[in-house]
Structure 1
């Protein structure tokens, strides 16, 4: 399967700002063509690439104050390789984190999913979040967490992912957050899904039911959205004037809808 992904960010950068982007396909993805540029007028900047232990690629740079155009495009062809998962990783993905407070939803999870384990548990958590949360663009805040989403019953993809992760961790299943490109997503944007660890394999859960999971392109992986922000900065002001994301399948397209009860790895 061949996928073409693009991201365009138009920023207004203040003085002395340290910019960190996570908008490129992860190291594990089979990228065949790729171009990432940072431009201010006629000037081009070159970022330092930093790769974290899970293959997420961070690009760091400083620019002059003023408008900054960030452009990314890539063609991804074939299946990704599965990075090694250590015992330490699985321990980390069992712990509560900033947006996935598994300790705070522990009692609720234990009542709701009592007696379930393995695939049956993963299916039940996915179905529960899909049914109990309403997709509501523009109403959730960047500081909302799994606890907020459980109480409000509304959110966007990051909120669905956080709630799935928190509930799974509360049931002793390692779970992590993945930012990705999702071909033909509606509405189109960067997308977020959860991954659950079962018998040595990470499986993708998209409780929004909006993506075709077999076509996803991994960008970043972490405990929650705090580890996977498409842009973070330190030391000054940055305004986001425009954000455009696109992703499509150009060959060997999946013709059947995603059966979200099937076990699927991010490929």
Structure 2
């Protein structure tokens, strides 16, 4: 059965803003969808740009005033997992802005250096789950995995950045995926990690807040810089309110954190 997802962003645009949205489901997921940007009921033109791994970005020039962004979709899970290539295994083992895995290397190798990649794909998310406290409002938009390791608290993006950083530091390629997550409480856009092991990308989520098998892919990249739901390239837009919804088409199942789950 189809999963229903939606999002609404209320923005106060204080100067003309070049904005990029990443709220539409990835290519191949949507059966029916609608994306709308309006100011005072008048539509705003949007350009779609296709990024890596089927990520669909929507770029628009937002005029001054109150802008409403709405998205709705009925989605079906694609048949197979996302393709990968040699470049992916190199790109996602390197440090990135929010995942400075080189700075985490000494710590990660001391804690997890003796394990195989498959073992670390289980051990590292377990460590993050056990040692961090999920605390809304505890982190800022520029915090990196280092901040999270020191503070031992954060939200989903912080859990994902630290998990990816520790994995990369011990040689396991890891990338971030933003998803719609049926069963998530409180409901919001959700950030998780995909780790490359045994020739495939496995979903790991150290927050354990929702069943991974129900996730719907939105965007995929190195870290939150690639997967943020809203990026302003110029101008000023203030997010006044956000609503996100994701409802599975059937009953939600439990999630065994030791089981392998693949996200198409």
TM-score by length of 2: 0.97
Alignment of 1:13-28 (within 5 A): 13-28=13-28
Q: Unmatched 5+ residue regions in structure 1?
A: none
**In structure 1, what is the Cα distance between the partners aligned to 2:172 and 2:76?**
31
Does the 8 Å contact 2:2/2:249 carry over to 1?
A: yes
Alignment of 1:118-267 (within 5 A): 118-251=117-250, 253-255=251-253, 257-267=254-264
Closer, same or farther: CA 97–221 of 1 in aligned 2, 3 Å: same
Q: Unmatched 5+ residue regions in structure 2?
A: none
Does the 8 Å contact 2:15/2:237 carry over to 1?
A: no
Does the 8 Å contact 1:37/1:46 carry over to 2?
A: no
Does the 8 Å contact 2:27/2:55 carry over to 1?
A: yes
Report the alpha carbon displacement of residue 144 of structure 1 after superposing the two structures with TM.
Answer: 1.0
Report the alpha carbon displacement of residue 62 of structure 1 after superposing the two structures with TM.
Answer: 1.1
1:127 aligned counterpart, secondary structure: helix
- The answer for the alignment partner of 1:6 in structure 2 is 6
**In structure 1, what is the Cα distance between the partners aligned to 2:53 and 2:47?**
18
Alignment of 1:66-81 (within 5 A): 66-81=65-80
**Cα deviations across residues 84-119 of structure 1 (Å, max 9, x unaligned)?**
211111101010011111111101111111310132
- The answer for the alignment partner of 2:40 in structure 1 is 41
Does the 8 Å contact 1:20/1:231 carry over to 2?
A: yes
TM-score by length of 1: 0.96
- The answer for the alignment partner of 1:55 in structure 2 is 54
The CA RMSD measured in Å over matched residues stands at 1.2
Count of matched residue positions in the alignment of Structure 1 and Structure 2: 264
